[in-house]
Amino acid sequence: MKSLMIEAIPDSPYYPEVNFDASNGVCLIQGESYMEEAYKFYMPLLDWLKEFAVEENNKVTLNVMLTYFNTNSSRLLLDMFDILKKSVDAGNVVEINWYYEEDDPDIMDEVEDFEIETGLEINMIPFQA
């Protein structure tokens, strides 16, 4: 299976950078996410995770470094976590690390909402921008 890479576009900062590495299962999404028609951006990510984590039963480490995502994107992030929950339920190893800016007063609740909805455990790791 091939890795999935989407480079950051400086003129379009509403697209995050993506690096889903098929060689070791380490998946990174970082930057900001508030593009139009978010499902078009996220569908390849969802398809990749379904194949890699659910159909091929590989271990995944997802590192999320999103400093902002709008509600459209959060709907697609929820789908990403739902796929990873299916992988966990099938007995596979999934680790999710969410790197957050320490001065963001709302992010803990946002991530806790994902945990409540999916039943996944998400590790919160602070960083300074």
Partner 1 sequence: MDIPKENLISYHGPINIDLVSFISNYLKQYIKADNSVIGRIYKVLIELIQNVSYYSADQYSNLRSFGSGIGWFRIDAQNECFTITTGNKILKEHGPILLKNSEEINALDEEALRDLKRKTRSQANIRDIGAHIGLIQTGLITGNNLEIKVEPIDNEFSFLIISASVNKTNT
**Site residues (CB under 8 A) for partner 1?**
12-14, 34-39, 42, 68, 70-72, 74-76, 78-79, 101, 103-106, 109, 113, 116-117
Query: Could you tell me if residue 31 is left (phi over 0), alpha (psi between -120 and 50 degrees) or otherwise beta?
Result: left
Residue number, 38 or 62, with CB nearest to partner 1? 38
For residue 108, is it left (φ>0), alpha (ψ between -120 and 50) or beta? alpha
Shorter beta-carbon distance to partner 1: residue 42 or 52:
42
Please state the closest distance from residue 37 (CB atom) to partner 1, in A. 5
By the 8 A CB rule, do 57 and 92 touch?
Answer: yes
In the complex, what is the shortest distance from the CB of residue 107 to partner 1, in angstroms, rounded to a whole number? 9
